[in-house]
Structure 1
Amino acid sequence: MKTFLLIHGAWHDGRVWDRVVPLLTEAGHRVLAPSLTGHGDRAHLLGPDVGLDTHIADVLAVLTEEDLTDVILVGHSYAGMIVPAVAGRAPDRVSGLVYVDAMVPADGESVLDVMPFTQHLIDAAGSWRIPPMDGFFGVTDPADVEWLRPMLSDEPVRCFQQPVRFDEAVVAAIPQTHVHCVGDAPGVARRPVPPGARVWELRTGHDCMVTAPEELAELLLKAS
């Protein structure tokens, strides 16, 4: 049995994994999908001081409070900034990293470094909080849009501005899998992944846990 710790991306909450969790548990694995500070059941904690460091601390707290080991740590989108920092600080608890259509930072980079266009979101917001982007993250089916809508909330600017810190050598020693969501088109150029990392593509939108949960679960099980 493995333990999957599923970390949602910006603007989302832990419920976004609800279609994937039962598929992993039915395969005999333990699955946790917490909401980060400022989201879901922790929405009341949203504030201008919430940042990337806050979310890294959230995930580290789950590892220690639940005494988790042999963890497959899965990060979607913005959570690609979180998972290497967590793995670097608790490598004895993490046996694999999965980046699901996620940012892939180097030590010392912020979201603004990885995806510079996010500065436009900050400028447009004109505040410490950024509303969800239009387009529902590649989710087009009206029923899926209505299911996802209540899970979306504002993201603090500080999450995009704070740099991530981790020991790149420690993280590189942990097996990595990268899942790229490519819609209906072949894969496009992305940031290089570390040598030896597995790369798989899903022909679906960015929020693949909503639009292709069975296919994503199958890849997560292969990654374990």
Structure 2
Amino acid sequence: MATFVLVHGGGHGGWCYQRVARRLRDAGHLVYAPTLTGLAERAHLRTPEIGLETHIRDIAGLLYYEDLHDAILVGHSYGGMVITGAADRAIDRVAGLVYLDAANPVNGQSLVDVAGPIIEAIRPLGQTVDGVELVLVPTGQDAAFYGVTDPVDADWMQARLTAHPWRCFEEKLALHNETELWALPQFHIVCTSTLATRDPELVASARSAGRLWDIDTGHDLMITEPGAVTDALLEIAGAESGSPTLPLVQLRPSPDPSGS
């Protein structure tokens, strides 16, 4: 049995992993899908002080208080910033990192540094509420931005999106245990459309190590292709338990007939 901690990206919450979490649990694994402070059902806790470090502490605290060990941290989008920092803070509790179409930061970088033009472009569309600068403010027409095209999925997602504190995106990652952190195995599940925008050396290294999965879908792949994402995570869990190194898998999944 593996332990997964699924960390969402900007504007989302633990809700976005419902379909993946259910499949992983059905396969016998322990799964946590927390919501970061200030988002979704925790939006009422939003304050001007919430930043990247807050969210890193959210996940490091979960690992400690649930007494988790050998956890596989999965981070989607902005969540890649969070899992990198959380693993650094709780290095003895983490078995590996999975970047789910996510930011891949190094010490001293912010999400703005990693994803520059895209992140800067959303800032003028934000607003300030109760002293908190917010971005990714839901407009009612956000599905396309996240690559969700199915109308039912779009409506379900749209009803749950929340604005995200800008400070999280401009705060720089501070690492303290880099030697141990970068010794952890890292896996990458990416959307086909984003491969060309990623660091070629990182992609080549992940590919040669058999730690790259390519899913032909939109950015919110845990919503649009939960079966394919789950399959990749199950292979990663197998690799972490001592199975042979996995080959590159190019997933072109068929639609889920259940729609879930």
Normalized against structure 1, the TM-score is what?
A: 0.93
CA apart distance, 1:222 = 0.8
CA apart distance, 1:3 = 0.6
Distance of 1:187 and 1:111 partners within structure 2: 18
Alignment check: 8 A CA contact 2:138 2:158 kept = no
Distance of 2:108 and 2:218 partners within structure 1: 29
Map residues 86-165 of structure 1 onto 2, 5 A cutoff: 86-117=86-117, 118-127=119-128, 128-130=133-135, 131-132=137-138, 134=142, 135-165=144-174
1:201 paired with 2:214, answer yes
Distance of 1:187 and 1:205 partners within structure 2: 12
Larger RCO (alpha carbons 8 Å, 6+ apart): 1
Alignment check: 8 A CA contact 2:134 2:164 kept = yes
More moved, 125-134 vs 199-208: 125-134
Amino acid at match of 1:144: D
More moved, 30-39 vs 125-134: 125-134
In the TM superposition, what whole-angstrom CA distance separates every residue of 1:39-94 from its partner, at most 9, and x where no partner exists?
Answer: 12211012222111110011011111100111010000001101111111211110
Alignment check: 8 A CA contact 1:10 1:79 kept = yes
Alignment check: 8 A CA contact 1:48 1:157 kept = no
Give the aligned partner of residue 177 of structure 1. Answer: 187
1:212 paired with 2:212, answer no
Q: Any stretches of 5+ residues in structure 1 without a counterpart?
A: none
Alignment check: 8 A CA contact 1:51 1:156 kept = yes
Tell me the C-alpha RMSD between the 2 structures: 1.7
Distance of 1:26 and 1:223 partners within structure 2: 16
Distance of 1:48 and 1:123 partners within structure 2: 18
Aligned partner of residue 18 in structure 1, secondary structure: helix
Alignment check: 8 A CA contact 2:105 2:114 kept = yes
CA apart distance, 1:121 = 1.7
Distance of 2:39 and 2:197 partners within structure 1: 31
Aligned partner of residue 107 in structure 1, secondary structure: coil
More moved, 2-11 vs 189-198: 189-198
In the TM superposition, what whole-angstrom CA distance separates every residue of 1:7-35 from its partner, at most 9, and x where no partner exists?
Answer: 00000000100001111011111000010
Give the aligned partner of residue 67 of structure 2. Answer: 67
CA apart distance, 1:123 = 2.9
Alignment check: 8 A CA contact 1:204 1:212 kept = yes
Sequence identity (%): 43
CA apart distance, 1:188 = 1.6
Give the aligned partner of residue 41 of structure 1. Answer: 41
Q: Any stretches of 5+ residues in structure 2 without a counterpart?
A: 238-260
Aligned partner of residue 113 in structure 2, secondary structure: helix
Alignment check: 8 A CA contact 1:104 1:193 kept = no
In the TM superposition, what whole-angstrom CA distance separates every residue of 1:89-122 from its partner, at most 9, and x where no partner exists?
Answer: 2111100110000001110000110011212222
Alignment check: 8 A CA contact 1:136 1:145 kept = no
Normalized against structure 2, the TM-score is what?
A: 0.81
Bigger radius of gyration among the two: 2
